[in-house]
Amino acid sequence: MTDSGVRLIGGEMLKWSDEAGDSGRLPVRGAVLAELLTQVVPSGSRVLFAGPHDRALVRQVARRAASVTCLLRSLSDGSDLAGGPDDVEVWCGALDKLGGAGDFDVVVALDGLDRLDTPDSCPLGWREVLTRLAQMVVSGGRLVVAVENELGVHRLVEVDRSEMRQANQWWQLAGRWAADPAQLNAVLAEAGLPQAMWYAGYPRPGVPELLLDARAAAECVPGSVPARLLDAACSGDLGDRLLLGDPRELVAGAVRGSLADRLAPFWVVVADPSGTKLPGALVQEGGPDPRWAVVSSLEVDSGRWLRRPATEPAVVRTSGRVTRDPGRLTGRVPGGSSLEQQLLAACRSHDLPAIRSLLRGYAAWLAGQQAGDHLPGWGMFATFDNVANDRDRFALLDPGWAWTERVEPADALARVLRRFAIRLVESDTPRPWPSSLDVHELTRVLHAIVGAPADDRTLYDGIRLEAEIEATLRGEAAEEQARLEASLVVGGPGAMLNRPRGYRELVAAHTLLSQELQHQRARAASAERQLRAVENQLDKVQGTLRAVRASASFRAGRVATMPLRRLRRLTR
C-alpha cells in the first residue's frame, strides 16, 4: 500500500499514464456507457472497474454502489485517483498478479481487454484476460466487457496503425485481437457467465455513440431504423485521424451484406445469469458536446422503435438562438432512411428524376409545415440528415432542436440546401452535375430544382445561418463564427463539418483535378491558337491599310478632301 492509499499488486507501471494517453487513447468515456452502467449495475453492489475508465463513469457508479474498486496499471493514474475526492479503492498493477477468484457483484471492463497487462506480466492473450475477469465475478454476478474488433469499420478505414509503427504500447502483439464473437461466447460460457446481451458498438471503442443489439445490427436492412442509427453513428466528427475512406460508405455496405455486427468497431457483452432486460439500443444524438448530446434508450415494440431520453427530467438547453429540448425525443422513431442517404444514393446513380422528386417532395412537406408565413422552430434543423423519408412520408429524426426566433421558410431552405451541397462536394460523391460546379453553384442548382431560385442574398443567408449554428453548437465565439462564415463564403467545406477527407477521396479528387487541369490546358492552348490566328489576320489588315495609305491615289484623295476636313474641324 502506498501513502496515497493505492494497493500495489505487482507489475505496476511507473513511467506510464493511460489517463494522459500514453497508450494512444484516453480512457473510455461517454454518456452512452454511463447510461448502460445505470441499467446494469444494481444499487448497493460491489463493483470492480478493470482498466482505465473515465472518472465521470467511476464517480457515477460510486454514488450508488456499496464499494468501487479500480484496477489500474499506471502508478501515477492510481495515485491520482486514490488521492482524489472519489471514494474508491485503487489496485495498481497487472491483472495476472491478482490470481484467484474475486467477489465482485459487477466487473466492468468497458475500456477493453488490452490495458490490463504490463511489460512485467506474463503475456496475456484476450482469452486469458477474459477468463480472469470472469473469475473476479461472484456467483450470480455480472460482467460488462467491451472488446475491440480487429475487423471493425474503424480499423478498416485506418491509415496510421500504431502497431505498425511500433508505438510504445505494443510491447506484445500476440493474442491481442478477439475477432470472433463465437469464440468470445465460448470463453464466457466456460467461465459460467453466459452472455445475456451482445451490443455492436459504433463508431470507435474510446467514445461509443451507439450500442445496438447485435442481432438488430446483423439483420437490419437498408432503410430500417437500425441501419440509419449505424449510418448516423459513423457520420460524426472523426477527429484529426487520417482515414482510408469514409466509414459511412463501409457501414452501408456492411448493412447490405448483413455484416454490421461483425464489422462493429467493438462489442459490448453483458454476461448476466439473471438475464436482466436491457434496451435494444442506446444512442447519443446531437453530437459529442455534452451540452447538446442526449442519450436515449430504444426499444422495439411490435416492429416499431420507441425512443426514451435517458436523462430525466429533461432539461431544456439554450445558447444563442439555438435551443434543445430532450423531452421532444420521446416517442416513435420514424422509419425510412434519411433523406441525405437517399439523395446521395440517387446522386451516385445519376438518377435525376429521383433527385428532383426527393427534393421537391421535401420542399412541399416543409412548406406544408408552415404556420402562417413562417415555419416552426425546428424548421431550421430539418436538414437532410435529420429527416427520414419513407415513401414520401417525411419526418424529423431528432425533433429536439429548435430556433428560438421566427423561421422564414426561405432561410431554412437556404441552410438545408447549402449543407447538402457541402456534403456532396466534401464526400466527393459522384453526382449528375458537371464537376466544375462549386459549392455555391451546386447550392443554386438545388434551389432551382426545388423551385425556389436563389439570388446572392439568399445564398449568403444560408452561409450566415450555417456559420451561426455551427459556432453556437461548438460553443465558439463570434470570431470563430466569422471565420466559419468566411470559410463558407470561399466555398471551403472541409473545415465546416470537421470531416476530413479520406485517402480514397483525396485520390479521387486528385484524379478529377488532373483531368480538369489537362482539359483547361487544352482549352488555353486552343484559345492561344485562335488569338494568334486573329492577330495574323489583324496584321494582314493593318498591312493592307498601310499600303492603301501609302498609295498615290489615297494621297491625292486626302489632298482633295483637305478643305472639307478643315471646315468640319472648325465647325465642331
Residues that bind another protein (CB under 8 A): 350, 352-353, 356, 432-437, 441, 444-445, 447-449, 451, 453, 455, 512, 515-516, 518-520, 522-523
Q: For another protein, which is the closer residue by CB, 319 or 357?
A: 357
Min dist CB 352 to another protein, Å, is 6
Task: State the chain's maximal CA–CA distance in angstroms.
Answer: 126
Q: For another protein, which is the closer residue by CB, 9 or 437?
A: 437
Alpha-carbon dihedral 208, 210, 214, 220, rounded to 10 degrees: -140
Q: For another protein, which is the closer residue by CB, 404 or 520?
A: 520
Count Cβ atoms within 10 A of the Cβ of residue 301 and give its class: 0-12 exposed, 13-18 middle, 19 or more buried.
exposed
Q: For another protein, which is the closer residue by CB, 99 or 432?
A: 432
| Cell numbers placing 345 | 444514393
Q: For another protein, which is the closer residue by CB, 191 or 437?
A: 437
Q: For another protein, which is the closer residue by CB, 100 or 353?
A: 353
How far CA 533 is from CA of 157, 352, 522, 529, 530, in Å, comes to: 53, 42, 17, 6, 5
| Cell numbers placing 128 | 486469458
Q: For another protein, which is the closer residue by CB, 115 or 444?
A: 444
Min dist CB 460 to another protein, Å, is 16
Strands 104-109 and 137-148: parallel
Q: For another protein, which is the closer residue by CB, 85 or 353?
A: 353
Min dist CB 239 to another protein, Å, is 33
Min dist CB 488 to another protein, Å, is 19
Min dist CB 417 to another protein, Å, is 12
Min dist CB 434 to another protein, Å, is 4
CA distance 444 to 441: 5
Min dist CB 514 to another protein, Å, is 10
Q: For another protein, which is the closer residue by CB, 151 or 367?
A: 367
Q: Sign of the CA dihedral 330, 333, 334, 337?
A: positive
| Cell numbers placing 233 | 453513428
Q: For another protein, which is the closer residue by CB, 214 or 459?
A: 459
The strand ranges marked E within 5-97 are 6-10, 46-50, 67-72, 89-93
**Phi, psi for 295 (deg, rounded to 5):** -100, 135
Min dist CB 516 to another protein, Å, is 4
Min dist CB 462 to another protein, Å, is 15
Q: For another protein, which is the closer residue by CB, 308 or 510?
A: 510
Min dist CB 441 to another protein, Å, is 7
Min dist CB 511 to another protein, Å, is 10
DSSP, residue by residue, 492-519: --HHHHT-PPPHHHHHHHHHHHHHHHHH
CA distance 444 to 449: 9
Q: For another protein, which is the closer residue by CB, 179 or 437?
A: 437
**Phi, psi for 71 (deg, rounded to 5):** -100, 115
- The CB density around residue 430, as the number of other CB atoms within 10 Å, is 13
CA distance 44 to 532: 90
Alpha-carbon dihedral 396, 401, 407, 412, rounded to 10 degrees: -60
| Cell numbers placing 55 | 472518472
CA distance 552 to 376: 86
CA distance 30 to 33: 6
For the sheet containing 317-319, what is the strand order? 317-319, 322-324, 401-403
Alpha-carbon dihedral 56, 39, 224, 409, rounded to 10 degrees: -50
Min dist CB 422 to another protein, Å, is 17
CA distance 169 to 23: 5
Q: For another protein, which is the closer residue by CB, 498 or 518?
A: 518
Min dist CB 517 to another protein, Å, is 9
Query: 571: phi > 0 → left, psi -120 to 50 → alpha, else beta; which?
Result: alpha
